Chain A
Amino acid sequence: MALLITGVAGFVGSHLAERLLKEGFDLIGVDSFLDYYPKGIKENNLKRVRENPRFEFIEGNLLNLNLKEILEQVDAVFHQAAIPGVRASWGKDFSQYVENNIQATQVLLEACKDIRLKKFIYASSSSIYGDSDELPIKETSPTNPVSPYGVSKLAGEHLTALYFKGYGIPTVSLRYFTVYGSRQRPDMGFHKFISAVLLGREIEIYGTGEQTRDFTFIEDAVEANLQAFFGGKEGEAYNVGGGSRIKLIEAIRIIEEISGKSANLKYKDPQRGDAKHTYADVSKAKRDFGYSPKVNIYEGLARHCKWLKDNLDIYR
């Protein structure tokens, strides 16, 4: 059985590729190397999977690839491709978010109409909820994004649900809550915090540091994809959290403990687009496909720190 991963050179995409190859699937990966962060980092993400003869890689853009021919070769799609970043999505760059997160999703779904897929998994995001009054956040909680990025991911999610209703494409959305671990994007929190601590640089904290996040270790997020591929209900969305909700400042304390170095904190104003708290209720994913996060924040951060320490050169 062959599967397609879009955004395969990214953080989650590349980990998912490694896992699916290990499970014995054939893979086609697509990535356009959007320049949100350097291409060399993404090429490094792909280093291991590229050695596997069951992996085919196409550098291309979903908006103009001949998707039908590609889709005819596969049984399922893992749509990970997107332009990330809540803070960068304000202002004139929003057109890139419309193009890559909304339009590209629609073009891909459109091309899936006549293909018999087993599953179409859409990588959604906790940012679609915005500042939720209800904690933990359920899939039925209101969706009021606080960033244009969140708006674009929510629109993409609505499109997948619509193409299920309209054309029976077996779509499932996974709403990731702050995923971390090896190869995390260099603009993301833990990557920045760990490298700053390792290099003795200043850490910028936006706000008080009292904001909480539900951190999800990459292996758990990947496992959720596999489980949703087999057991996710069509047309549904699921929270994928890590069961490790802690304050940002506590996470930094753990990094200090693991690394044996102290963090040099610099407090700055809260950023537009950041939610105050995120905390996922994952009971729906547990009920429908047995999702249960395995890696707690201590183990996850220890592994993330170790990996980054050994691979710091890639990011310099």
Chain B
Amino acid sequence: MPIDEKLLEILACPKCKGDIRLSEDQAGLICDRCKLLYPIKDDIPIMLIEEAVKLGESV
């Protein structure tokens, strides 16, 4: 089951409160401003700054 559209709409980056988008492989939520990926595990968005993955410039 993919992550709910409505849920995606109401979530924001916990660090900058900016918009996030679903990553192409749907494995996480990306904040382009902070260059952070918030992983989605078992359909649960993990909106914790400590758990976020730093993204390289290329992503």
Nearest-Cβ distance from residue B1 to partner chain A, whole angstroms:
8
Interface size class, chain A: 10 to 19
Determine if A64 and B15 form an interchain contact, defined as CB atoms under 8 angstroms apart: yes
- Give the residues in chain B near A28, CB-CB below 8 Å: 7
Nearest-Cβ distance from residue B5 to partner chain A, whole angstroms:
11
Determine if A58 and B4 form an interchain contact, defined as CB atoms under 8 angstroms apart: no
Determine if B10 and A59 form an interchain contact, defined as CB atoms under 8 angstroms apart: no
Determine if A72 and B14 form an interchain contact, defined as CB atoms under 8 angstroms apart: no
Q: Among A56, A57, A61, A73, which residue has its beta carbon within 8 angstroms of that of B14?
A: A61
Q: Residue of A at shortest CB range from B39? A: A59
Determine if B47 and A59 form an interchain contact, defined as CB atoms under 8 angstroms apart: yes
Determine if B45 and A59 form an interchain contact, defined as CB atoms under 8 angstroms apart: yes
Determine if B10 and A60 form an interchain contact, defined as CB atoms under 8 angstroms apart: no
Determine if A64 and B14 form an interchain contact, defined as CB atoms under 8 angstroms apart: yes
Q: Give CA–CA (A57, B11) in the complex, Å.
A: 11
- Give the residues in chain B near A69, CB-CB below 8 Å: 9-12
- Give the residues in chain A near B47, CB-CB below 8 Å: 58-61, 65
Determine if A59 and B11 form an interchain contact, defined as CB atoms under 8 angstroms apart: no
Question: Which among A28, A56, A73 has the greatest number of chain B C-beta atoms within 10 A?
Answer: A56
Q: Residue of B at shortest CB range from A43? A: B42
Determine if A65 and B4 form an interchain contact, defined as CB atoms under 8 angstroms apart: no
| Known A64-B49, A66-B17; contact A57-B44, beta-carbon cutoff 8 A | yes
Interface size class, chain B: 10 to 19
B48 within 8 A of A: yes
- Give the residues in chain B near A61, CB-CB below 8 Å: 14, 47-48
- Give the residues in chain A near B9, CB-CB below 8 Å: 69
| Known A61-B14, A66-B14, A66-B17; contact A32-B48, beta-carbon cutoff 8 A | yes
B27 within 8 A of A: no
Within 8 A of A (CB), among B1-53: 4, 6-7, 9-12, 14-15, 17, 44-49
Determine if A56 and B48 form an interchain contact, defined as CB atoms under 8 angstroms apart: no
Nearest-Cβ distance from residue A70 to partner chain B, whole angstroms:
5
Q: Give CA–CA (A73, B45) in the complex, Å.
A: 17
Nearest-Cβ distance from residue A131 to partner chain B, whole angstroms:
38
Q: Which residues of A contact B (CB under 8 A)?
A: 28, 32, 56-61, 64-66, 69-70, 72-73
Can you list 23 contacts pairing A with B, beta carbon distance less than 8 Å?
A: A56-B7, A57-B44, A58-B7, A58-B11, A58-B44, A58-B47, A59-B47, A60-B46, A61-B14, A61-B48, A64-B15, A64-B49, A65-B14, A66-B10, A66-B11, A66-B12, A66-B17, A69-B9, A69-B10, A69-B11, A70-B10, A73-B6, A73-B10
Give the 8 A-B CB pairs with smallest separation, nearest first.
A60-B47, A66-B12, A64-B14, A69-B10, A59-B46, A56-B7, A57-B44, A66-B17
